[in-house]
Chains A and B, each alone.
Chain A
Amino acid sequence: MASRFSGALQLTDLDDFITPSQECIKPVKIEKTKTKTGAKIKIGEDGYFDVSNGQEQKLQKVEITLADCLACSGCITSAESVLVTKQSQEELLRVFSERQYTDNKGVTRRVSLIVISLSPQPTLSLAARYKLSPEDATHKLAGYFKSLGADLVLDMTVAEDFSLMEAQQEFLQRYQNQQNDPNSKNLPMLASSCPGWVCYAEKTHGNFILPYISSTKSPQQIMGSLVKQHLSQARHLPAGELYHVTVMPCYDKKLEASREDFYNEMLSCHDVDCVITAIELEQMLESSGLHLGDVLGLELDSAWGEAGSGALRRHAGSGSGGFADHVFLHAAEQLFGESNAQLVYKNLRNPDFREVTLEKDGKEVLRFAIANGFRNIQNLVQKLKRGKSPYHYVEVMACPSGCLNGGAQVRPVVGESGRELVAQLEVLYNRLPLAVPAQSKMLRKLYAEWLGGKDSDKAKAMLHTAYHAVEKSDIALNIKW
């Protein structure tokens, strides 16, 4: 089976299937029990059994979690099969029906509230697949999840707003720091919402590139904090009893959700428990013989005390969330007093590498870029390494055309090119009602009520994260000629 991870991740071996010459180097703790020598082991269909003391005793299997694979630079075992155990449609359906799940510490926990967070890109992908309007598709998806047993189906607008606001603010800070110390590694600031890119950077470029990557969490992980920290409190539920599912355009998001950084020790749970993608939803619908259009539609819920129901919204700029546009406009206004800066992108070597500049008194003062796809990530990284990057900010996404073309979006039908489909999704995206973070009352309210204000320690803790270089270890077994 072809890998569904982005090209960047495929290269880092994360999707590697076990090949004969490779072995997992993860140290496994073995609980020693007193045994006589010469254990007799029987291989059964459902496992291995120790039969040395007369009765069959099932031997424990060594489990390797996705988190192990992410933190390791070794083999790697088939991360995809590891994913299957935790972040699959089967697991999701099981949680829906049993209302309990087993966390990565092996503890089985009761589920009191199942929360689904819908991001725009996969919803649009399914809208195109089932020939529905974006609004219709949103409602039908809400209805579908409710029919399966979800308690709340939410849009992620507010999490996206948070992510954009924090990125804008972070850029101003980095810009100032760079002015104060031109040799510092504050600029260019590189977007952090794409987990394929972040994981690639951690595994292959480590400490050279990580200081440039924005510390702002992605919308998915901010939504995770909102649901597990804020919503659980509002509902007076232990965070571990909330099961949080996000609907996303790529498989790499599953890796992001599984990161140790997004596991809360105090609450002992992940911020996002399961990531499900457009293509998996299509499969789920197909395997139950459903057409999304035939599902009873329901309004999205509202969880943050707003009036009325939620709705899918877009942000100005790229279909990947508009990071470059927001940061640019904010910086133009705050740093250079240009409240009406125009964003005119210029294609560089290919349509997936575009740049935009701001001039002040005939002098270029800001240069931003959008670099999508692995080849452009490469050229950007090489430019940085040679000290030839002219940019202040780069919106980096691992998939060509960005998130609307995410690796787990529904495939084009026979006779339709991938590009035509992406163009169609761009049209749908641009028809969504616009969300403007700076004008969001909800955002202001949450900053005040949940985080105790902008720039508070809590805001920093909830809305920012850190990255870690993965050390390479070249084990002999890995070398192949």
Chain B
Amino acid sequence: MSKLELVQTLTGHKGIVWNVSWHPQGKIFASCGEDKTIKLWSKEGQQWTIKTVLVDGHQRTIREVAWSPCGNYLASASFDATTAIWDKKSGQFECNATLEGHENEVKSVAWSPSGQLLATCGRDKSVWVWEVAGDDEYECESVLNAHHQDVKKVAWHPSLDILASASYDNSVKLYKEDPSDNDWSCIATLQSHESTVWSLTFDKTGERLATCSDDKTVKIWKEYKPDNQEGVIVTDRESVWKCVCTLSGFHTRCIYDITWCHHTGLLATACGDDIIRIFKESETSDPNAPTFDLVCTKLNAHTQDVNCVAWNPTGNKEMLSCSDDGEIKLWSYTE
């Protein structure tokens, strides 16, 4: 019997905790929230404790934090319209660059797999791609106005410079760079959700994408490349993404976050019904019409909306979650 066991409840934030982000080595994580602080946590003996609190970086709620793949930089996206980049070149964490340009609330930030690019998105409906241009220098590579509503989340393909975004306009869009003028453009629009798409996550191959929505469903999308064996028609030599699976009837309220473990293949969701659910692909799953089983339902995981779930990147089946209830919880999954 699969189960999700609570390892530790971590308190410290005042008010809503919006997001948690594991350091790539899985021994530190960062959290952020309504209290405008970022807290860095690590293990002391058996207990996770706050090691550092980063304050004064932002004037409003911090919505999301993200570690760079090298683990030396932390980016934070805030409702104050800025994205801050923190590092500890001086010995302790300091904000050494601020990305300005969004008109208002920044909702999400993500580093590309190479660590050379950053993406941000927000209420101004735009998605921005930034390039690391040198020491503490970031240049705007592109401003993408493909969505026509608030953009909730950005996520990078695990190995290629392909970016995905999820929006209040119910769609998901994918982008890549055009080498001829170094500008980015939208290469695919994924439409099927009937309400806001809150989050999205690639699987380890990058050929599948899972999205979660206010319409209470999770959808799995598969990439069909040009000249695919299945005979799916591809125009303009750009891959086509098709929704190959919809998980409905499991969630009773808006699904705020979804995360795909690149080691175990397990999908976890954070839901407005205070529940964390874990799905596993069936052994006999058909790649063109995959099936997923709900293997774990953690009732009352939090006392309010679960905002974020994150698998430990080392694949040790540890998971973090955070909530409107002000708490962060560390879980351990066993089959």
- Interface on A for B, CB 8 Å cutoff? 2-3, 7, 10-13, 17, 19, 204, 349-352, 373-376, 378-379, 382, 385, 400, 419, 480-481
Check if A379 sits within 8 Å of B143, measured CB to CB.
Answer: no
Residues of A within 8 A of B125 (CB): 10-11
Mostly, the B contact residues are: loop
Check if A375 sits within 8 Å of B100, measured CB to CB.
Answer: no
Query: Could you list 11 A-B pairs, sorted by A, with CB under 8 Å?
Result: A2-B148, A10-B126, A11-B124, A11-B125, A11-B126, A349-B133, A349-B139, A351-B182, A352-B181, A382-B101, A382-B140
Residues of A within 8 A of B126 (CB): 10-11
Q: Counting CB contacts under 8 A, is B215 at the interface?
A: no
Distance in angstroms between the alpha carbons of A352 and B142 in the assembled complex: 12
Interface string of B293-325 (1 = CB under 8 A from A): 000000000000000000000000000000000
Question: Beyond A7-B145, A13-B103, A480-B150, is A378–B140 a contact (Cβ under 8 Å)?
Answer: yes
Check if A375 sits within 8 Å of B103, measured CB to CB.
Answer: no
Distance in angstroms between the alpha carbons of A13 and B143 in the assembled complex: 15
Q: Counting CB contacts under 8 A, is B281 at the interface?
A: no
Q: Counting CB contacts under 8 A, is B5 at the interface?
A: no
CB distance from A348 to the nearest CB of B (A): 10
Q: Counting CB contacts under 8 A, is B183 at the interface?
A: yes
Q: List 8 A-B pairs, minimum CB-CB distance, nearest first.
A: A350-B182, A378-B140, A375-B140, A374-B143, A10-B145, A378-B101, A7-B145, A379-B139
Question: Beyond A400-B183, A480-B123, is A11–B143 a contact (Cβ under 8 Å)?
Answer: yes
CB distance from A49 to the nearest CB of B (A): 35
Q: Counting CB contacts under 8 A, is B141 at the interface?
A: yes
Check if B181 sits within 8 Å of A375, measured CB to CB.
Answer: no
Distance in angstroms between the alpha carbons of A373 and B126 in the assembled complex: 15
Residues of B within 8 A of A382 (CB): 100-101, 140
Interface string of B11-46 (1 = CB under 8 A from A): 000000000000000000000000000000000000
* Nearest opposing residue in chain B for A204, CB measure: B103
CB distance from B290 to the nearest CB of A (A): 33
B183: contacting residue among A2, A11, A350, A379, CB under 8 A: A350
Q: Counting CB contacts under 8 A, is B180 at the interface?
A: yes
Interface string of B89-103 (1 = CB under 8 A from A): 000000000001101
Check if A375 sits within 8 Å of B141, measured CB to CB.
Answer: yes
Distance in angstroms between the alpha carbons of A310 and B297 in the assembled complex: 77
Distance in angstroms between the alpha carbons of A352 and B181 in the assembled complex: 8
Distance in angstroms between the alpha carbons of A385 and B107 in the assembled complex: 24
* Nearest opposing residue in chain A for B184, CB measure: A375
Check if B143 sits within 8 Å of A375, measured CB to CB.
Answer: yes
Residues of A within 8 A of B181 (CB): 350-352, 400, 419
Interface string of B107-149 (1 = CB under 8 A from A): 0000000000000000111100001010000011111010011
CB distance from A2 to the nearest CB of B (A): 8
Question: Beyond A11-B103, A11-B124, A13-B103, is A379–B140 a contact (Cβ under 8 Å)?
Answer: yes
Distance in angstroms between the alpha carbons of A11 and B121 in the assembled complex: 12
14 more A-B residue pairs beyond the given contacts A349-B131, A375-B142, with a C-beta to C-beta distance below 8 A: A2-B148, A10-B126, A11-B103, A11-B145, A17-B148, A19-B149, A350-B181, A351-B181, A352-B181, A352-B183, A378-B143, A379-B140, A382-B100, A480-B150
Residues of A within 8 A of B105 (CB): 481
Residues of B within 8 A of A2 (CB): 148
CB distance from A202 to the nearest CB of B (A): 13
Residues of B within 8 A of A481 (CB): 105
Distance in angstroms between the alpha carbons of A373 and B139 in the assembled complex: 14
CB distance from A229 to the nearest CB of B (A): 37
Check if A373 sits within 8 Å of B183, measured CB to CB.
Answer: yes
Interface string of B156-189 (1 = CB under 8 A from A): 0000000000000000000000001111000000
Residues of A within 8 A of B124 (CB): 11, 13
CB distance from B63 to the nearest CB of A (A): 9
Distance in angstroms between the alpha carbons of A188 and B183 in the assembled complex: 26
CB distance from A388 to the nearest CB of B (A): 9
CB distance from B145 to the nearest CB of A (A): 5
CB distance from B196 to the nearest CB of A (A): 11
Distance in angstroms between the alpha carbons of A480 and B180 in the assembled complex: 37
CB distance from B99 to the nearest CB of A (A): 9
Check if B180 sits within 8 Å of A419, measured CB to CB.
Answer: yes
Residues of B within 8 A of A385 (CB): 100
CB distance from A76 to the nearest CB of B (A): 12
Residues of B within 8 A of A351 (CB): 181-182
Distance in angstroms between the alpha carbons of A10 and B147 in the assembled complex: 11
Residues of B within 8 A of A7 (CB): 143, 145
* Nearest opposing residue in chain A for B141, CB measure: A375
Residues of B within 8 A of A10 (CB): 125-126, 145
Residues of A within 8 A of B149 (CB): 19
Distance in angstroms between the alpha carbons of A349 and B123 in the assembled complex: 28
Residues of B within 8 A of A3 (CB): 145
